Structure 1
Amino acid sequence: MEIVVIISQILLYLSLSILVGSFILFLVPNKYRPEIRVAKKYLLISAITVPIFSFVPVLDIILYIAPRLGGIESFKLVLTTYTVGNAWNFTLVGSVVLILFIYMIWPPHKKLYSCLGLILTFGLILSLAWSSHSGTIDPIIGVISDFTHLAAVSIWVGIVLVMGWGARNYKNWVEFLNWFSIVAFSCLVMTAISGLLMMDLIVDHYVESWMVSYGQGILFKHLSLLPLVFYALINGLLMKFLISKNYNFNPIPWIRLEGLILLGIFAITAFYSIQPPPHGNYLSNEAVSPLFRLFHDAPIEARTTIGFAGGPNTIYFLFLSFLFIGLMILSFFKKAPMVLSLLFSCLFIVCIYVTLMLSVEVH
């Protein structure tokens, strides 16, 4: 069931991003972006799947307690008393309103319609934040930080995905980059601040949390941000220069690559969102992540801490990390296939991860 929950969360984030990105881009005047085409059916599918995918974690809880209480009683109990169930009720109602809204008025003839669609989608994101890990720990700070986090990421990812796969040309691309660079940077800052607030609520000690699966997921997410920022800088800064030198330069493959990395971050987020958060006395031999065990087989207990120490292997993998950064840069200027640049990005993340794991000492 865990695999089903992870896949459902990835698709849920994707659906929300498509909705947010589409509504925002249709609010932007034509002279500030290329021509885009988003079929009505894709928006309807995205809106319809939001309550379906968001119900999977609820179903997981129902199935967990069903052997003791029975299926019907468990269903009623979770939907009426559990926070995740109450939040899903609001998600269902909001999704129905959004589906009817898209079905009746899309494509929009007024900016107000896109604005209303965006507000409805943000309402769905708020209901998801209500049932999040941080939201259950602190109903105010937790919900606000999780909502800000998911909303900022949805804006960034949504615009990138819709522009990458919905743009009919790359006319007005520099005008698009002029405002989107500011939006992407703002989203990155909002994501970082809200992420730190959530970590303060959920994770007692960031480095020690690497010993469990939740901490490993957060670490991979943070490492994935490094190539993401690299390609965001390419799309935001170098792309303007290249387009000014060569009007026929096609920037769409590179914004698609940025979108694929963002989807990878979604996958990592979906993985660790179903793991128990490392709060309180969570350390034990049984709780240790299998990935962490690949590098350290020392006994783990509640008082175990982590320190850092370098070594030849650490230096070797750090050198490989810089090598793959160079290859990422070279692949851009040599106009290498997108899949090759994506491979270098993944290898860079792996090398940085191994560098950190080898530098860790368990005390």
Structure 2
Amino acid sequence: MQYISEFLLYICFSIVMGNAVMQVVPQRYKPSIVVPKALLLSAILAIPILSYVPLHLTALEFKQSFQLSYAAMMKSILLDLQIGEAWLWTAVGAAGLAMIVGIPVFAKDRHMPKIALMLTLLLTFWLGYGSHVASLDAFKGLIVHTGHFVAVAVWLGILFVVSWFATDDNHWASFLKWFSPLAITCVVVALIAGITLMSYTTPQATNALMLNYGQLMLIKHASILPLLWLAYSNGFVYPRLAREGKLPSQLKLLRIESIIALFVLGSTAIMGQTAPPHNVLETLRTETPSWLFTTIYQGSFSPDLQLIWQWNLSSVLLIAAALLVLYAIRAAFLQRSFIWIVILSIIFIVFVYLAVMFGIEQAPTALDSI
């Protein structure tokens, strides 16, 4: 339940953020975009509802331990915990944003798009405030988590909104001229913030592969690579070919890119509801190892296992195969074979994942060097 709710929450945030950004962009720099008001309002109102799910599950889990009713336990969470305070402000912000979007007198005001964007950014701030990393480091954790989420939401939000709700491709060159650099900036910010987040959540990144969290992190990073390749192709390869008259409208290609982006959002959503392994050994005392790890890892498993990654023949061959698939994605892109772009992207993710997993070995001990 919490995985699905978190996944839907990220999609709703992306749609709301993408719409908010595109509303403040002058018409001469974007195609015509019509996001159905019912869908936009539903996404806004779903944010506090979906954000409530972790609080609900926490209340159910601990109400018996504290011998409290559900209402009393939830009151304590909302008033005493950081995640509860964040949810209250999220509900207030979402209500205000829904009024701006839904009430015609507000929607027609020329300043309202800027206010809506500010409210959307505040919602991402409160999401970061209630995050796990913010509870570990109040200031730096908040800034890093919020920066990471805003970068991803802006990049993928614009991608979702334009690819699925653009009604034409007018001003397309002008749109790509600012969106491509913005997307690159968002990716760089997300990568820097993501690496910083890993220092909080998974300081033992290789050992963390024994756990579900580490496996999801690997799948997420593998999914980002074909997404970046498609983003590069859409931002830089497509305009050149379009000028030569070799390709039709780009909207279908952007939709393919948005579908691949769902893999990244899905793994991120599940990670958000999975306890991060600050200490893998301690975590394995209360949590079973990932079935993916135990299925693929060739050595014997024990909770105190120390892992390293090394090149071997299997990893080299799989990475070579992944590069060939990446070239095949480019060929499918040029041939406008959309279904093959998706299939090949999934194959690429699998190859990269297996290349990493087959390179995992037990770290040598002091006795091995004697």
Q: TM-score, normalised by structure 2?
A: 0.92
What amino acid does structure 2 have at the position aligned with 1:324? V
For residues 46 and 318 of structure 1, the distance between their equivalents in structure 2, rounded to whole angstroms, comes to: 39
The residue number in structure 2 matching 1:327 is 328
CA contact (8 A) 2:294 2:301 kept: no
Corresponding position: 1:173 with 2:172? yes
Matches within 5 A, 1:253-272: 253-272=252-271
Q: Is the aligned partner of 1:18 residue 2:20?
A: no
Q: Which runs of 5+ in 1 are unaligned?
A: none
SS of equivalent to 1:67: coil
Q: CA deviation at 1:318?
A: 2.5
Q: CA deviation at 1:123?
A: 0.9
Partner of 1:358: 358
- 1:290 aligns with 291
Counterpart position of 1:344: 344
Give the superposition deviation at 1:253. Answer: 0.8
Alpha carbons 1:47, 1:99 under 8 Å: kept = yes
Conservation of the 8 A alpha-carbon contact between 1:40 and 1:107: no
**How far apart, CA to CA, are the structure 2 residues paired with 1:358 and 1:248?**
39
How far apart, CA to CA, are the structure 1 residues paired with 2:35 and 2:312?
52
User: Structure 2 vs 1, CA of residues 106 and 315 (structure 1 numbering), >3 Å: closer, same or farther?
Assistant: farther
The AA in structure 1 aligned to 2:358 is L
1:105 Cα shift?
4.1
Worse-matched range after superposition: 241-250 or 159-168: 241-250
Q: Does 1:37 align with 2:34?
A: yes
Matching residue of 2:239: 240
Tell whether the 8 Å contact from 2:332 to 2:340 is kept in structure 1 after alignment: yes
Please give the secondary structure, in 2, of the residue aligned with 1:277.
Answer: coil
What amino acid sits opposite 2:253 in the alignment? W
Cα deviation 1:93-134 (Å, max 9, x = unaligned): 111111112112478445421110011111111111111121
Partners of 1:212 and 1:58 in 2: CA distance = 24
Q: Return the alpha-carbon distance in structure 2 between the equivalents of residues 319 and 152 of structure 1.
A: 31
Matches within 5 A, 1:1-363: 4-68=1-65, 69=67, 70-105=69-104, 108-246=107-245, 249-280=248-279, 281-282=281-282, 284=284, 286-296=287-297, 298-302=300-304, 304-336=305-337, 338-363=338-363
SS in 2 for 1:282: helix
SS of 1:214 mapped into structure 2? helix
User: Kindly, what percent of the aligned residue pairs are identical?
Assistant: 28
TM-score when scaled to structure 1? Answer: 0.94
Deviations 1:244-289 (A, max 9, x none): 1128721001111111122221100011111111113435374421
Total equivalences in the alignment: 358
